[in-house]
C-alpha cells in the first residue's frame, strides 16, 4: 500500500528568541528558556485513502507537524515525505497534490467576493475554468455559503470566512488535505456539515487522504480511521479509535463527583491508580474526577482519601472507556 505521509525521526526545534524578548520587557517568569522541541523524533505513516487524526493538548506539536508536511516549515532533522516526495528537497510536486485549511483564523482578501477569493486560489493550481466554476457552485451550496457568494469577504462573519476557507481547500481537489482544527469556533450545524463532507469525500473518492487535528474527542472518534495521540512532540500511540479504547478495557474507568478538594496530589501515589484528571465546572461547587485504575481495589483508597479531606462524594460510577479516557490514561490530563 502506498503512503500519503511518512516521517522518520522527524524533529523540529524552535529557538525562542521572541519569548526571551517578551520576558525581558514584562519581567515574566515561569516559562522555560531556550529552545522548544515541538516534534521529537516522530515516526508516522499515513496510508493513501486514510482519514487520520492527530489528538493532543495545546502545544503538543500538531500544527508544527502539519506545517512541515504542507511545505511551510522545514524540519530541524529527520525526514518527512508527502506523496513520496521529500518536503525539504522537492516541495513543488507535493504542492501540486496538497492543500491546507486552518480553523480559527480569518484569512482572505476582504475586497474580493467569496467567489472571487476561492476562484483565484483555484487558478493558482491551474484548475480549468469550467471545473473550478462547477466545484465552487457545488461547494458554496454544500457549506451553506451560496447566499454569500457575491458578498465581499470583509463583510463575512468569522464562521463564514472559515467555511470559505474550507471551500478553498476542497476546490483544488487535492490528493492530501491537511485540516488544522477545521471546526474550531463553528456552530453545531456547520461543524456537522464539515464533518459529514470530509468523511464522505475521503470515503467516496479513491485516493483521497485527510490529516486532521482536533480538540474534540467526539470528532476524532467519529471521523478518523486511525488516530495518533501526541504530547510534548512525541507520538504516544497510533491506532484505530476502537483499538485504543480496547486497550483500556484492561483498565477500569471510574468517575466521581465530589465537593472541591484541597489537595489532589495524593491520588497519584495510591497503588493501582494509573492516571486521573480533574475538572471543576468553573464556579460550580462540584468537581469531576476521572480515574483510570489498573487495579479496581484502589477505589476504596480513593474514597477514603476524599473523605479524609472532609469532602463529600455525590456520585460514583464505573464506566465504559471513552476516547477521552484513553487520552487521560496516556497524557495524564484531559483535553479541555
Partner 1 sequence: MNATVNRHWRSFKWAAWLGWQIESNWTEPWLFAIYSVIKPVAGAFILVLMYVVFTVIGNVQDLARFNFVYVGNAFFIFVGNTLFGTFQVIQADREWYQTLRYTYISPISYYTYIVGRAATKVAVAAFAVLITIAFGVAFLGIKIDLSAWELPAFFAAMALGAFTLVGIGVSLAALSFLTARHVRGLAEGVPGVFYLFCGVLFPLTVLPDWGQSIGKAIPLTYWFHLIRQITMPADYFAAVPTGLTTDPLEIMALLAVSATGFFLLSIGLFRLMEYLARRAGKLDMTTNY
Ligand X SMILES: Nc1ncnc2c1ncn2[C@@H]1O[C@H](COP(=O)(O)OP(=O)(O)OP(=O)(O)O)[C@@H](O)[C@H]1O
Question: Considering CB distances under 5 to 8 angstroms, the limit depending on partner class, which of partner 1, Mg ion, ligand X, none binds residue 121?
Answer: partner 1
Please report whether residue 36 would count as binding ligand X according to CB under 6 A: yes
**Based on CB atoms, which residue is closest to partner 1, 54 or 66?**
66
Residues between 41 and 70 with contacts to ligand X, criterion CB under 6 A = 56, 58-64
Question: Considering CB distances under 5 to 8 angstroms, the limit depending on partner class, which of ligand X, Mg ion, partner 1, none binds residue 36?
Answer: ligand X
Question: Considering CB distances under 5 to 8 angstroms, the limit depending on partner class, which of ligand X, partner 1, Mg ion, none binds residue 61?
Answer: ligand X
Q: Please report the sign of the dihedral spanned by the C-alpha atoms of residue 322, residue 224, residue 5, residue 101.
A: negative
Contacting residue, 30, 32, 58, 124, with partner 1 by CB under 8 A: 124
Contacting residue, 21, 59, 77, 120, with partner 1 by CB under 8 A: 120
Cβ contacts of 63 within 8 Å, gap of 6 or more: 102, 180, 213
C-alpha 220/C-alpha 237 separation (Å) is 14
Is 156 exposed, middle or buried (CB count within 10 Å of its CB: 0-12, 13-18, 19+)? buried
The DSSP H or E segment spanning 12 is: strand 3-14
Question: Considering CB distances under 5 to 8 angstroms, the limit depending on partner class, which of partner 1, Mg ion, ligand X, none binds residue 149?
Answer: none
Do you know the residue count of the chain?
336
Residues between 162 and 181 with contacts to partner 1, criterion CB under 8 A = 168, 172
Please report whether residue 110 would count as binding partner 1 according to CB under 8 A: yes
Other beta carbons less than 10 A from residue 174's beta carbon: 20
C-alpha 130/C-alpha 123 separation (Å) is 11
Which letter does DSSP use for residue 130 in this model?
Answer: H
Instruction: Provide the binding-site residues for Mg ion, judged by CB under 5 A.
Output: 63
Instruction: Provide the binding-site residues for partner 1, judged by CB under 8 A.
Output: 14, 67, 70-74, 92, 95-96, 98-100, 105-112, 116, 120-121, 123-126, 168, 172
Amino acid at each position: 500500500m502506498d503512503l500519503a505521509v511518512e516521517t522518520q525521526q522527524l524533529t523540529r526545534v524552535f529557538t525562542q528568541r521572541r519569548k526571551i524578548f517578551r520576558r525581558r520587557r514584562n519581567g515574566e517568569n515561569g516559562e522555560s528558556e531556550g529552545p522548544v522541541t515541538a516534534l521529537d523524533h516522530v515516526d508516522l505513516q499515513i496510508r493513501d485513502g486514510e482519514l487520520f487524526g492527530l489528538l493532543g493538548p495545546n502545544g503538543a506539536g500538531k500544527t508544527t507537524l502539519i506545517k512541515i508536511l504542507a511545505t511551510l516549515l522545514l524540519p530541524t532533522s529527520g525526514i518527512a515525505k508527502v506523496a513520496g516526495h521529500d518536503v525539504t528537497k522537492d516541495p513543488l510536486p507535493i504542492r501540486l497534490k496538497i492543500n491546507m485549511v486552518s480553523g480559527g483564523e480569518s484569512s482572505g482578501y476582504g475586497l474580493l467576493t467569496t467567489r472571487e477569493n476561492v476562484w483565484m486560489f483555484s487558478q493558482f493550481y491551474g484548475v480549468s475554468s469550467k471545473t473550478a466554476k462547477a466545484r465552487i457552485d457545488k461547494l458554496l451550496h454544500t457549506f451553506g455559503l451560496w447566499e454569500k457568494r457575491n458578498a465581499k469577504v470583509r463583510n463575512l462573519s468569522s464562521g463564514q470566512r472559515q467555511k470559505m476557507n474550507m471551500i478553498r481547500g476542497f476546490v483544488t481537489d487535492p490528493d492530501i488535505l491537511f485540516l488544522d482544527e477545521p471546526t474550531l469556533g463553528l456552530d453545531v450545524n456547520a461543524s456537522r456539515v464539515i464533518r459529514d463532507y470530509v468523511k464522505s469525500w475521503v470515503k467516496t473518492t479513491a485516493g483521497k487522504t485527510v490529516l486532521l487535528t482536533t480538540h474534540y474527542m467526539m470528532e476524532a472518534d467519529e471521523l478518523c480511521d486511525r488516530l495518533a495521540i501526541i504530547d510534548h512532540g512525541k507520538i504516544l500511540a497510533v491506532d484505530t479509535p476502537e483499538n485504543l479504547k480496547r486497550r483500556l478495557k484492561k483498565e477500569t474507568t471510574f468517575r466521581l463527583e465530589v465537593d472541591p478538594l484541597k489537595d489532589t496530589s495524593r491520588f497519584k501515589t495510591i497503588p493501582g491508580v494509573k492516571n486521573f484528571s480533574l475538572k471543576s465546572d468553573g464556579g460550580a461547587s462540584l468537581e469531576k474526577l476521572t480515574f483510570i485504575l489498573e487495579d479496581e481495589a484502589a477505589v476504596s483508597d480513593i474514597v477514603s482519601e476524599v473523605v479524609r479531606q472532609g469532602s463529600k462524594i455525590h456520585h460514583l460510577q464505573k464506566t465504559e472507556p471513552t476516547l477521552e479516557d484513553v487520552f487521560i490514561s496516556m497524557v495524564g490530563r484531559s483535553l479541555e
